[in-house]
């Protein structure tokens, strides 16, 4: 099969991807390989996140909409790799740098029902999940030893979780790793050169070109980026400049919940409920008002596997053009 390949560069991070779509391969061809997920039961006696088992988790740090009738519970993660009672002090092992495993790790239990799924929830339920994210990120950001809050969701074994109950996670670290710092440095250089936020410019360019847009609303836009790393990679950006997710207001959060549910709904129906990760990438703490950073959500359906070349070079090979991914998702109708 003939392959028409090209390199593409991510405008913001300067990362390269190789776009190598096999001619004649359609989005449907990637989907058929996924076996149908076995539907879980609505409740499980042995699930620590199901109603009736609240005593099996640590005391919640947040409950929405109210304690007596919870929809969202945020609890400290019992099995976390990082612990809040440790210090953030660096230490040396010979000439090697180390630090105690200080950090904050929380689980956001998204719904009482074991078999629920954001793609199928009511709008106010999705909004409550996002409100919980915002409230916890604001609260955790007050900790002077925390520098980065990462909010993410793993759905399914290929995305890194075997826990069926709908949940997402918040991990806050004292460290800002190179993976986050490097794109920030690129964004500063871009700002110095152009006098504008590279993400604002990227969003504007995607809107102008149009062919990778899935859908948009007044304040947000969802698209498959020009330099997508994998098939059906989706991003949601606020259209106006905003460096931190904590700055989203009450009206915008409802709008974001709607758009997120639309995108996850499209993935759910067109890719047969795929395993996926999503991540909210927000500025490190202290940079909330900076002019060169811009928060966004990235949604990555796990339809391909990262192999040796990707690990070795950091260059991802994407076998489906984002223009095709976006067109397919745009045309997917949601039968909610």
Residues that bind Zn ion (CB under 5 A): 47, 49-50, 114, 165, 197, 199-200, 241, 294
Q: Cα–Cα distance between 14 and 321 in angstroms, integer?
A: 19
Sheet containing 6-9, strands listed edge to edge, beginning at the edge strand earlier in sequence: 6-9, 16-19, 316-318
Q: How many CA atoms lie within 13 A of 270 on its CB side?
A: 25
Contact 148, 284 (CB under 8 A): yes
Active-site option among 85, 111, 114, 167: 167
Rounded to the nearest whole angstrom, what is the least distance from the CB of residue 37 to Zn ion in the complex?
16
At 321, list the tokens.
Answer: 């053009």
CB of 206 to Zn ion, least distance (A): 13
Q: Which run of H or of E encompasses 106?
A: strand 104-109
Q: Which two tokens stand for residue 306?
A: 């990262």
* Neighbour count for residue 34 (Cβ, 10 Å): 16
* Closest distance of CB 44 from Zn ion, Å: 5
Q: How far apart are CA 267 and CA 233, in angstroms?
A: 10
167 catalytic residue (yes or no):
yes
3-state secondary structure 61-72: CEEEEECCEEEE
Distances from the Cα of 113 to the Cα of 106, 119, 124, 136, angstroms = 19, 14, 15, 22
Token pair of 303 as six digits: 């339809």
**DSSP letter assigned to residue 295:** -
Judged by beta carbon, residue 45 or residue 69, the one nearer Zn ion is 45
CB of 110 to Zn ion, least distance (A): 11
Structure tokens belonging to residue 222: 């969802």
Nearer Cβ to Zn ion (14/241): 241
Report, in Å, the least distance between residue 278 CB and Zn ion: 20
Q: Which is nearer to Zn ion, 22 or 54 (CB)?
A: 54
Q: Please identify, using beta-carbon distances, which residue of 95 and 162 lies nearer to Zn ion.
A: 162
For the CB of residue 59, give the shortest distance to Zn ion in the complex, in Å.
19
Is the Cβ of residue 175 or residue 213 nearer to Zn ion in the bound state?
A: 213
When the beta carbons of 52 and 286 are compared against Zn ion, the nearer one is 52
Contact call for residues 235 and 256 (beta carbons, < 8 A) = no
Closest residue by Cα to residue 135 from 61, 243, 240:
61
Active site residues: 167
């Amino acid at each position: 099969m003939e392959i028409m390949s090209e390199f593409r560069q991510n405008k913001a991070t300067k990362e390269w991807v190789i776009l190598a779509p096999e001619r004649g391969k359609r989005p449907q061809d990637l989907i058929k390989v996924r076996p149908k997920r076995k539907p879980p039961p609505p409740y499980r006696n042995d699930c620590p996140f199901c109603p009736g088992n609240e005593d099996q988790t640590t005391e919640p740090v947040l409950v929405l909409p109210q304690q007596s009738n919870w929809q969202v519970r945020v609890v400290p993660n019992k099995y976390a790799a990082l612990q809040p009672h440790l210090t953030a002090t660096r230490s040396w092992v010979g000439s090697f740098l180390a630090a105690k495993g200080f950090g904050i790790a929380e689980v956001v239990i998204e719904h009482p029902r074991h078999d629920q799924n954001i793609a199928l929830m009511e709008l106010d339920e999705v909004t409550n999940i996002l409100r919980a994210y915002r409230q916890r990120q604001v609260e955790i950001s007050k900790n002077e030893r925390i520098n980065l809050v990462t909010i993410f969701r793993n759905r399914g074994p290929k995305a890194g979780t075997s826990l069926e109950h709908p949940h997402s996670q918040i991990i806050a670290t004292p460290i800002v790793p190179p993976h986050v710092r490097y794109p920030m440095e690129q964004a500063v250089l871009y700002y110095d050169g152009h006098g504008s936020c590279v993400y604002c410019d990227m969003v504007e360019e995607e809107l102008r070109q149009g062919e990778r847009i899935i859908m948009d609303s007044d304040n947000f836009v969802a698209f498959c980026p020009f330099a997508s790393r994998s098939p059906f990679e989706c991003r949601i950006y606020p259209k106006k400049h905003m460096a931190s997710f904590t700055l989203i207001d009450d009206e915008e959060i409802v709008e974001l919940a709607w758009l997120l549910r639309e995108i996850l709904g499209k993935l759910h129906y067109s890719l047969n409920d795929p395993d996926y990760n999503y991540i909210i990438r927000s500025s490190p703490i202290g940079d909330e008002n900076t002019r060169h950073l811009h928060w966004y959500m990235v949604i990555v359906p796990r339809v391909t596997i990262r192999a040796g070349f990707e690990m070795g070079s950091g260059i991802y090979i994407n076998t489906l053009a984002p223009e095709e991914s976006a067109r397919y998702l745009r045309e997917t109708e949601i039968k909610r």
